[in-house]
Structure 1
Amino acid sequence: MDTASGGTTISEEMAQEAESQNLLTLGIEEEYLLVDAVEPRGVEAVEEVIDRIPPEYAESVQHEYYRTQIEVASPPQLELSGLYEAMRELRGVVSGAAEQAGARLVAVGTGPAAGPVARLVDRPRYHRMRERFGDLSPGQGMCGTHVHVSIPDPESGIRVLNHLRPWLPVFQAATANSPLYNGHDTGYASWRSMLWERWPTVGPTPHLESHEHYEQIVSDLVASGAMLDEGMLYWYARLSAAYPTVEIRMGDVMPSLDDALLLAALARGLVATLLRDIEEGAPAPDVPHPLLMAAHWRAAKDGLEGQLLDLATREPRPAWRLMRQLFDYVRPELERHGDLEMTTVLMGRLRSHGTGAARQRAILGRDGTVSDVVDWLAGATRGAS
């Protein structure tokens, strides 16, 4: 929850290719819940799972805050197909290690089933966080998806952050995958989003004047005690502290790798489109903070199955209308990066089967149980459905 990783460092060959063609690289981090092999509750198996990860994957798999969680980070990629293969391989390796440890790997935003509060991973940083902030992350853990997109330089990144703000509720709605918590339906498509907002630095990125302004805010927040260091800057989009990337980080982890790939492609297309707009002199949208908060609330409440707040007109619109608007806006950059054909297919699949939240509720609507939901989530995470 507090890392700033984005996988391994980009290769020199990939960096040269990206620069020569003016293309952006991208990578994904995913956090998962570990659940019992039979029961739907979380299980504290992260050490046993990591012990079974082959050495060649060790740099891409890491602990999270609770012993019921684990995280993976892809290497940076230029091609969407390469990102798919990297993430498919990582999910498979970690799923296999979890099964050997008597657990299952589940891509879900919050623990669907009731169970005891998990213990922290025994690291000094996590103990300091608990001492400073108390019980802000209850239950078995919260699991998200973070997408890293390369940027030319920090100042360009700051301008991108300013332009990103009105689009991020659409990403939040598309990733919604946590309707269940402690054994009941919360009434939200992304309950993780509501729990996550308890942390003092979670929320929309403020309008920033410069990279110096960004660094000053980070320094002031650390001095205030609201975060231990820059790794705890939990804005919905931020500059990575470790890599030359913009990190989009407000989404739930998704059971379908197709959906995660769609999010990554749209994120890269959007960053590339915004860089073009910025170069052409387009000003950043002036969106009042209360309206941004309202838009994110609607995204968490209904996902793509309801309405979102259109921040251009300031009126509610069908969520899929705004999703399509995003796709059309970034279409030229999807095409330039070679992502258009695959992204079109992935959009169709998401439209057909719905978000993770919708699919979980569909299982319950067919007289399924929370255990049935977790069984499906585990299978989807592994790639079986």
Structure 2
Amino acid sequence: MSRSDVLALGPWAMQVAESVHNLLAMGQRSWLGLLGIAVGSASIVALLNIGRSASDDAMATFKGLGTDVLVASFPGFDSRRTPMPGTLDTRSVHFAMPELMQLAPVSQYAVKVRAGGAELDASVIGTSAALMPVMSLELASGRFISRLDRSGLFAVIGDEAASALGIETRPLRPGDLLGLGDYQFQIIGILRPQPHNPLLPVPVDSSVFIPAHSMARLSSSIRLGHVIARVQPNVDASVAAQSLQRQLQERLRGHEVNVQVPRQLLDGLRRQADIFAWLLAGLGGISLLVAGVGVMNVMLMSVRERRREIGVRMALGARPRDIRSLFLIEAAHLSVVGALLGAAFGCGIAWLFTQLNGWPLNLSFDALLLGVGSSLMTGLFFGCYPAALAARLSPAVALRDD
């Protein structure tokens, strides 16, 4: 664009074009100021997007493990109280609570498991047929425990336990036996590998599942440990948890009942993840403040070197606000270009980091807006003082400057 074209656009276009020319004339100092803004913007955008992607990946993992599941536990056991029963009539609880899809009792006992010539220390889980839909278990072979197996010697094995005992996932035969304590249990099923769920108290892959009433054959001290339930769709899990707690307290008088709602835990994890993301953004903000000081330094050096030019402009009729606008536009140029370059670079860093960790990239518009906006505001804020300093110069003093 020629000078005549710039003049035709008006005084603002002239100031913009002149500010670009002045920044290019400063050379390396302008690039360093721009680089500082870009690094600050990239830090905020990258850290916020990485934190958000990590949070979303963790939330997706937990949500896939069942946020509609309730886990009742019985802390504070005291031997002087009425002993905890070995199992629970969950059918009566289910009848009283139609908002539950299924619920299953869970008791655990550690024992040596034998199959062929192999032995394994494993957890034996005493439960009912309802545990399969409650925990979304899938079978690799055979079947799960049914209501007809009430106190029979039948066992279902988790994937890791089956592999450790050398049990193949072929069609099972009546002769496939599993030694538990002094008894031989018939293997009726082998489970598919199950993702570990830290919200649930059952290590599925490394456990052996038998009917709840059969646990008495292993030990006379077996006690009910948990009750796991799944709520119906469109039912408030928190309300269902309170109802379940009341129902269990009526049946287990003298024992404390604590019902855990995984959805509440996920909400807490989400809040913690958001706090962590904002802490990361705060670290990026520190680098942005350092960049703002760099912009102010560039502009102060520019004012010092151009004092005679400022005096000539004022002598020719330039008003203080014209001088102020010129230097503010230069700071805005550094801020805009640095913020946009930093935002693009920050998105690239976030993409690379998420790809290396196998997370889905979730670019947040809020992160982009905050990164670019804060960079612009920082550049303009730190450019205000040099601009005001230039506008307050006396023409006579400025013209005498060597």
Which structure is larger by alpha-carbon Rg, 1 or 2?
A: 2
Q: By the TM > 0.5 criterion, same fold?
A: no
Q: Which has the higher helix share?
A: 2
Q: TM-score, normalised by structure 1?
A: 0.20
